[in-house]
């Protein structure tokens, strides 16, 4: 492999306490959610907008497919890199990393495309050896060492990571046996939980073991969510000493996905682990989630903590208390993560106080509390009519007008909290400035 002009960006970069390696444009493209809409991949425009959002958020390491995966990926990379270059003055340098097999073909393609680094992987588990590449541990070591020695000699500018794929199903002694002769050639050692088998205690133990054995080599961890433990495992890895972790927006990826970037930051903030938040624009968390959801033609998932859903209230008791003070049922400062609005869902579970608020403060009906209780009882009894043809708001307004003959007040009340009803497919939103 012939050496290319040296780029010293990485050698001069001072890594922060926590560096996100965002894989939304690699791991994220493996999500089945794209197939749901017959989309199959992100368009070039999608990729450019996602990369721009990540860089503005503060992400310094972005993982992409190796360019030999497809001609589309190869062609798109040059336009993606141009977006990165445009933002260097404003946000500093962002490293574009190719996810490559430990194979000369992948490596050559990534180098000639102009990537800043290589995220090299080689399956080390018994399952990988038996059913993937068929190589023994000795053969893995020999192949990897030859390649890494050549890279370090001829391309010292590249940032290199080596990972034993399926590391958490690889016996620890086997993993160390592979890493020992390779560690001198790499900038990071990766430990991916490729099939999502890891548990937090095991993560802590393994991270500490590798930190002790390789004290001068940062670790990069990657957790799949097959057991629903990706976020917890990532937090444990960070607290145990992993400086680099892989994430995607909304946690999308192969099968059940991996760790959500904004979920990770949200939890580190709640746990007052502020050192790990250095350099990231947390207020952009919800907007960047919305950006990704738009590319997937979906909503921000309800299980994503940094979402409007996490400030949405349906039960009557909750709604009544939130109208008095949101702290009653909102324990976390989501506004610091860009969720600046609050929704109260109007529906069959709503209590009289929300019905009263909706009719009086938002729709300006002249109604007292006793009447609101009667309207609420009738509304609940009539909720079987909410079959998709009529929304909760429309039903309630019909009852107020036609059954109780309520009249509009002559003067509009002041400042009303927004109440949203999303019980129907049209997603109608009503506020004090909108008439039904």
| Other Cβ atoms within 10 Å of 20 Cβ, number | 25
- Kindly give the pairing relationship between strand 419-420 and strand 343-344: unpaired
pLDDT classification of 145: cutoffs 50, 70, 90: very high
Q: What is the mean pLDDT of residues 1-17?
A: 70
Q: What is the pTM of this model?
A: 0.83
The larger pLDDT score, comparing residue 62 to residue 348, is at: 62
Domains and CATH numbers, the chain: 10-295 (3.20.20.70), 309-430 (no CATH)
Q: What is the mean pLDDT of residues 13-29?
A: 97
Q: What is the mean pLDDT of residues 356-381?
A: 88
- Comparing 145-154, 236-245, 321-330, the range with the smallest average pLDDT is 321-330
Give the chain's end-to-end CA distance (angstroms, integer): 69
The larger pLDDT score, comparing residue 380 to residue 27, is at: 27
pLDDT surpassing 80 at residue 346: no
Mean pLDDT of all residues in the chain? 89
Per DSSP, helices labelled H in 59-171 are 71-86, 88-91, 104-113, 126-131, 137-154
Q: What is the mean pLDDT of residues 45-72?
A: 96
> What pLDDT is attached to residue 7?
60
Closest by CA to 97, choosing from 11, 21, 8, is 21
Per-residue pLDDT of 113-132, as tens digits, reads 999 999 999 999 999 999 99
Q: What is the mean pLDDT of residues 209-214?
A: 98
């Amino acid at each position: 492999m012939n050496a290319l002009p040296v780029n010293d960006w990485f050698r001069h970069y001072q890594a922060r306490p926590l560096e996100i390696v965002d894989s939304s444009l690699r791991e994220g493209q493996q999500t089945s959610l794209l197939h749901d809409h017959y989309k199959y991949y992100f368009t070039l425009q999608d990729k450019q907008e996602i990369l721009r959002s990540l860089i503005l958020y503060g992400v310094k390491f972005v993982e992409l497919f190796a360019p030999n995966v497809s001609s589309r990926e190869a062609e798109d990379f040059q336009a993606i890199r141009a977006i990165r270059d445009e933002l260097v003055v404003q946000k500093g340098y962002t490293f574009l990393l190719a996810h490559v097999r430990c194979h000369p073909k992948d490596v050559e393609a990534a180098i000639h495309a102009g990537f800043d680094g290589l995220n090299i992987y080689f399956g080390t588990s018994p399952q990988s050896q038996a059913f993937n590449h068929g190589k023994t541990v000795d053969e893995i070591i020999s192949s990897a060492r030859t390649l890494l020695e050549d890279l370090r000699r001829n391309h010292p500018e590249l940032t290199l990571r080596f990972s034993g794929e399926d590391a958490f199903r690889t016996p620890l002694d086997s993993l160390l046996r592979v890493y020992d002769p390779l560690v001198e050639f790499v900038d990071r050692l990766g430990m991916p939980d490729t099939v999502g088998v890891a548990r937090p205690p095991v993560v802590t133990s393994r991270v500490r073991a590798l930190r002790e054995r390789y004290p001068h080599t940062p670790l990069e961890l990657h957790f799949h969510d097959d057991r629903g433990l990706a976020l917890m495992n990532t937090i444990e890895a960070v607290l145990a000493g992993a400086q680099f972790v892989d994430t995607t927006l909304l946690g999308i990826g192969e099968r059940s996905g991996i760790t959500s970037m904004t979920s990770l930051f949200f939890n580190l903030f709640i746990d007052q682990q502020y050192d790990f938040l250095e350099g990231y624009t947390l207020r952009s968390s919800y907007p960047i989630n919305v950006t990704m959801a738009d590319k997937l033609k979906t909503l921000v998932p309800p299980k994503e903590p940094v979402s409007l859903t996490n400030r949405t209230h349906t039960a009557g008791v909750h709604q009544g208390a939130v109208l008095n003070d949101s702290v009653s049922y909102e324990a976390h400062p989501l506004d610091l993560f860009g969720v600046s609005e609050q929704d109260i869902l109007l529906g069959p579970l709503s209590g009289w106080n929300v019905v009263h608020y909706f009719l009086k403060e938002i729709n300006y009906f002249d109604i007292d509390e006793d009447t609101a209780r009667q309207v609420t009882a009738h509304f609940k009894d009539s909720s079987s009519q909410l079959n998709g043809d009529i929304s909760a708001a429309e039903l309630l307004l019909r009852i107020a007008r036609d059954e109780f003959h309520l009249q509009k007040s002559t003067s509009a009340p002041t400042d009303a909290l927004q109440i949203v009803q999303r019980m129907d497919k049209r997603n109608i939103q009503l506020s004090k400035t909108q008439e039904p």
